[in-house]
Structure 1
Amino acid sequence: MRDAAINLRALPEQRDLIDHAATLLGKNRSDFMLEAACDKAQSVVLDQVFFRLDADKFRQFSDLLDAPPVRNAGLERLMAVKTPWEVDASPA
């Protein structure tokens, strides 16, 4: 059960736009706004990646990013195997 209230004020045209969009999706205003706000909040949180490195570790990290890719035999073997949808599906 939802029991935490979130109140906000909007211009009438903003409310009308939200109501119209909610109706198009078969939702009420509250459900539409909560879903939209949570989608945006999750996107913002997932875009924020922060980690701290001292100068030496940062230099090592930068060098790894700038280095050319290293061959990966396991990945090359995996990529050589056809996926089920690539296998010939013609009857025998």
Structure 2
Amino acid sequence: MVASVERKEYPISIRLSEADVAMIDRAATLRGRSRADFVRDAAVRAAEDMLMDNRLVRMSPEGFAEFMEVLSAPVAPVPDMVELAERSAPWEAGCTTKR
């Protein structure tokens, strides 16, 4: 028999302006989600982003020296990126697109 795991959920209550609620409802509707699901996903995603941005990276002095050496090395051009940067924008007159 499989033991069931008790799932704990904690309510969060916030006050929002009518305009904020209307914007959230519009976005949730476009995603096909409820307001609560949309807000929960957005809050969790924002928290994950913040935590990843503030993550501490530890390395040995030798590893750091190697890391800095790689960062300081001259870069080699990527041919596809060079071609893309030299290409005219589609809205510019006389633009030719390569395919």
Taking structure 1 as the reference length, what is the TM-score of the superposition?
A: 0.55
Structure 1 residues without counterparts, runs of 5 or longer: 70-92
Q: Residue deviations 1:20-70, cap 9 Å, x none?
A: 1101111111100000111111011011133579xxx5x95767754679x
CA 1:44/1:51 → structure 2, altered by over 3 Å: closer, same or farther?
same
Gaps of 5+ in 2: 1-6, 76-99
**1:9 paired residue number:** 15
- DSSP 3-state at the match of 2:43: helix
Counterpart of 1:19 in structure 2 is 25
Within a 5 Å distance, the mapping from 1:12-91 to structure 2 comes to: 12-50=18-56, 57=61, 66=72
Q: Which one has more relative contact order, counting CA pairs under 8 Å at least 6 apart?
A: 1
Q: Distance in 2 between matches of 1:26 and 1:65?
A: 44
Q: CA RMSD in A?
A: 2.8
Structure 1 runs of 4+ aligned residues shifted over 3 Å read 59-69
Percent of pairs with identical residues = 32
How many residue pairs match? The answer is: 67
TM-score relative to the length of structure 2: 0.51
| Secondary structure of residue in 2 paired with 1:20 | helix
